[in-house]
């Protein structure tokens, strides 16, 4: 029996143990359409029960010693390491990941657990000065029950980066993965923490549709909502959470820019640009969606990028050595193709790609764009690289900032020029002489503008801010004197 054997989870969800569900949904391989299994689907009523149970178990979990909570997180990291090959297979087949991306994601999950294992031992507050004869403390307390709603693209790590720190800091968690990646984004996490020794009832896996997500947000016991996904859905969650006076950490979309400065090494820049635009078929919030290239290099850069795009094979990553796997489903495939064809109809030119290839999409390069074309304005979430030119760094800064999103920017070339440009850019992340896709468990991660609420996942300070409440505590040697 394997670690992720469907005998454990088939037709079930996990809420105080694995429970059979009358409602089920298939687990589908996007490359072939084959059925990989069946998961149980939760209902809003299941969410209500899970939230009540999570609130019961959370207090005991928060009272567990820091050493014990740290040990669970360390064991989770060890289990991810031990079962990495099996987990990567699921990321390849269920999420359409190429093998290298699956390995990268599993490595991030391992790092996340080990990084979060240190959180219980970090300082939990600070000593304040006081005008009175007393001790004055600001201490961090667990928020309580945290709702985590995760996407399909990096399903494992984008769920775990909220689940792991929330658990480490003494919270209980309700996890709702995307229905299309319920195993790699849900079952894997539940099984890991089950085997790591997390007490039953602290982590609940609740696969389902939007109604289940709404129930997670609205459950009275849930005090913090951590959502990663599209900006329109994030806006709706933020509005609902605001009405209920709950904190919502929203990590949303991006239309990220890669700026190629004059004098940059074109071959290296094109390699960086191809990686940024085509990794995981462009289905990453940090994907390079806009290539802004100095006019002196734009023709050479475009030709080099197009050559790389033409050389990238599309296929089934579970059965072939390919650079691009399938898009997550047919709807997303047709949406990407529609954006490309609409932009071409408006006057853009194809330098490479622009074609559906089975369940995937050819790596695409577009030129001749205007800034009102959909391929430039929208987050495509596909392997498409639109290219425009600029003359001055002032113009480059204007083009970068002329976007509703502000998640990640890469700048390639002279470091001094890049530093001055970085100071003028509105973006949660700026990478000099790197492309736009980068993440580490100890680094803050978050966007500006329509890319989210600046949630800054990653690192002890950001995690404490996200998943704890600050409580003011004072202590006096004797009962104070009062004038009444």
> Would you call 149 exposed, middle or buried from its count of C-beta atoms within 10 A (0-12, 13-18, 19+)?
buried
User: How far is the first Cα of the chain from the last one, in angstroms, to the nearest whole number?
Assistant: 71
What's the structural domain count of the chain?
2
Q: How far apart are CA 173 and CA 469, in angstroms?
A: 16
What is the reported pLDDT for 457?
84
Domain co-membership, 76 together with 130: yes
Q: Is 445 among the domain residues?
A: no
Largest Cα separation within the chain, whole Å, is 83
Please check whether residues 233 and 364 belong to one and the same domain: no
Q: Are strands 349-352 and 288-294 parallel, antiparallel or unpaired?
A: unpaired
Token duo for residue 130: 């006081």
Structure tokens at 182: 């319920």
Q: What is the pLDDT of residues 150-193, one digit of tens each?
A: 999 999 999 999 999 999 999 999 999 999 999 999 999 999 99
Q: Each residue of 349-359: pLDDT tens digit?
A: 999 999 999 99
Together in a domain, 223 and 357: no
Q: Is residue 226 located within the same domain as residue 281?
A: no
Q: Tell me the backbone φ, ψ of residue 232, rounded to 5 degrees.
A: -60, -45
Task: Check if the beta carbon of residue 21 is closer than 8 Å to that of residue 14.
Answer: no
Q: What is the pLDDT of residue 455?
A: 72
The residues carrying an active-site annotation are 251, 285
Q: How many CB atoms lie within 10 A of CB 441?
A: 24
Please tell me the distance from the alpha carbon of residue 82 to that of residue 78, in angstroms, as a whole number: 6
Do the domain assignments include residue 440? no
Is residue 478, in this structure, part of any structural domain at all? no
Let me know whether 214 and 351 are in one domain: no
In a domain, 125, yes or no: yes
| 20 and 95 within one domain | yes
Residues 205 and 224 in one domain: yes
Q: What is the 3-state secondary structure (H, E, C) of the chain?
A: CCCCCHHHHECEEECCCEEECCCEEEEECCCCCCEEEEEECCCHHHHHHHHHHHHHHHHHHHHCCHHHHHHHHHHHHHHHHHCHHHHHHHHHHHHCCCHHHHHHHHHHHHHHHHHHCCHHHCCCEEEECCCCCCEEEEEEEECCEEEEECCCCCHHHHHHHHHHHHHHCCCEEEEECCHHHCHHHHHHHHHHHHHHCCCCCCEEECCCCHHHHHHHHHCCCEEEEEEECCHHHHHHHHHHHHHCCCEEEEECCCCEEEEECCCCCHHHHHHHHHHHHHHHHHCCCCCEEEEEEECCCHHHHHHHHHHHHHHCCECCCCCCCCCECCCCCHHHHHHHHHHHHHHHHCCCEEEECCCEECCEECCEEEECCCCCCHHHHCCCCCCEEEEEEECCHHHHHHHHHCCCEECEEEEECCHHHHHHHHCCCCCCEEEECCCCCCCCCCCCECCEECCECCCCECCHHHHHHHHEEEEEEEECCCCCCCCC
**Both tokens assigned to 287:** 């994907």
- Asked if 212 and 176 count as a contact pair (C-beta separation under 8 A), the reply is yes
Q: Which two tokens stand for residue 274?
A: 């191809």
297, 177: one domain: no
**202's tokens:** 């602290």
Q: Is 12 part of a structural domain of the chain?
A: yes
Residue 457's DSSP bridge partners are 445
pLDDT tens, the chain, 484 aa long: 799 999 999 999 999 999 999 999 999 999 999 999 999 999 999 999 999 999 999 999 999 999 999 999 999 999 999 999 999 999 999 999 999 999 999 999 999 999 999 999 999 999 999 988 999 999 999 999 999 999 999 999 999 999 999 999 999 999 999 999 999 999 999 999 999 999 999 999 999 999 999 999 999 999 999 999 999 999 999 999 999 999 999 999 999 999 999 999 999 999 999 999 999 999 999 999 999 999 999 999 999 999 999 999 999 999 999 999 999 999 999 999 999 999 999 999 999 999 999 999 999 999 999 999 999 999 999 999 999 999 999 999 999 999 999 999 999 999 999 999 999 999 999 999 999 999 999 999 999 999 999 777 888 999 999 999 999 999 999 999 999 9
pLDDT in the model for residue 394? 98
Do 291 and 246 share a structural domain? no
372's CB contacts (< 8 A; 6+ apart) are: none
97 and 205 fall within a common domain? yes
Q: Is 280 in the same domain as 355?
A: yes
Kindly state whether residue 131 falls inside one of the protein's structural domains.
yes
CB atoms within 10 A of CB 72: 23
Residue 19 lies in a domain: yes
164: which residues sit within 8 A by CB, 6+ positions away?
73, 76, 112, 113, 116
Contacts of 359 (CB under 8 A, 6+ apart): 30, 31, 32, 33, 96, 316, 326, 327, 330, 333
CA atoms within 13 A on the CB side of 278: 28
Tell me the per-residue pLDDT of 19-39, one tens digit each, with 9 for 90 and over: 999 999 999 999 999 999 999
CATH number for the domain including 305? Answer: 3.40.309.10
Report the CATH number that the domain containing residue 127 is assigned in CATH: 3.40.605.10
Is the same domain home to 165 and 63? yes
The 10s digit of each residue's pLDDT in 424-483 is 999 999 999 999 999 999 999 999 999 999 777 888 999 999 999 999 999 999 999 999
In which domain, by residue range, is 367 found?
256-432
Q: Is residue 192 part of a domain?
A: yes
């Amino acid at each position: 029996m394997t670690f992720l054997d469907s005998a454990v989870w088939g037709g079930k969800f996990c809420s105080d143990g694995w429970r059979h569900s009358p409602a089920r949904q298939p687990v589908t391989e996007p490359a072939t359409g084959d059925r990989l299994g069946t998961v149980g689907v939760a209902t809003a009523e299941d969410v209500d029960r899970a939230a009540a149970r999570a609130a019961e178990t959370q207090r005991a979990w928060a009272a567990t010693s820091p050493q014990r909570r740290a040990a669970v997180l360390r064991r989770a990291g060890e289990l991810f390491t031990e079962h990495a090959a099996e987990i990567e297979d699921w990321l390849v087949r269920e999420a359409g990941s190429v093998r290298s991306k699956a390995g990268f994601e599993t490595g991030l999950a391992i790092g996340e657990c080990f990084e979060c294992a240190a959180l219980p031992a970090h300082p939990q507050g600070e000593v304040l000065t006081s005008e009175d004869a007393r001790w004055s403390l600001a201490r961090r307390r667990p928020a309580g029950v945290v709702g985590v709603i995760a996407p399909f693209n990096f399903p494992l790590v984008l769920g775990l980066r909220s689940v792991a720190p929330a658990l480490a800091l003494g919270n209980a968690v309700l996890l709702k993965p995307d229905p299309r990646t319920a195993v790699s984004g849900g079952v894997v996490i539940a099984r890991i923490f089950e085997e790591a020794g997390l007490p039953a009832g602290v982590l609940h896996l609740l696969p389902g549709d939007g109604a289940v997500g709404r129930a997670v947000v609205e459950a009275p016991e849930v005090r913090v909502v951590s959502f990663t996904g599209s900006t329109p859905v994030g806006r709706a969650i933020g509005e609902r959470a605001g009405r209920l006076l709950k904190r919502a950490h929203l990590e949303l979309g991006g239309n990220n820019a890669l700026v190629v400065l004059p004098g940059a090494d074109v071959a290296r820049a094109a390699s960086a640009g191809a990686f940024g635009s085509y990794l995981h078929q462009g289905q990453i919030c940090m994907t390079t969606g806009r290539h802004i290239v100095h006019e002196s290099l734009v023709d050479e850069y475009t030709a080099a990028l197009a050559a790389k795009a033409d050389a990238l094979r599309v296929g089934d990553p579970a059965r072939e050595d390919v650079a691009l796997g399938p898009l997550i489903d047919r709807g997303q495939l047709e949406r990407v193709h529609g954006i490309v064809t609409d932009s071409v109809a408006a006057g853009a030119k194809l330098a490479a790609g622009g074609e559906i290839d089975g369940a995937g999409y050819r790596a695409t390069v577009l030129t001749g764009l205007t800034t009102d074309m959909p391929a430039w304005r929208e987050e495509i979430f596909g392997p498409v690289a639109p290219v425009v030119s600029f003359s001055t760094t002032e113009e480059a800064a204007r083009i970068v900032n002329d976007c509703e999103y502000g998640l990640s920017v890469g700048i390639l070339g002279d470091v001094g020029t890049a530093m001055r440009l970085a100071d003028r850019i509105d973006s949660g992340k700026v990478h000099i002489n790197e492309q736009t896709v980068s993440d580490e468990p100890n680094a803050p991660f978050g966007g500006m503008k329509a890319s989210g609420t600046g949630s800054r996942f990653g690192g002890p300070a950001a995690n404490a801010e996200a998943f704890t409440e600050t409580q003011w505590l004072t202590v006096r040697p004797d009962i104070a004197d009062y004038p009444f």
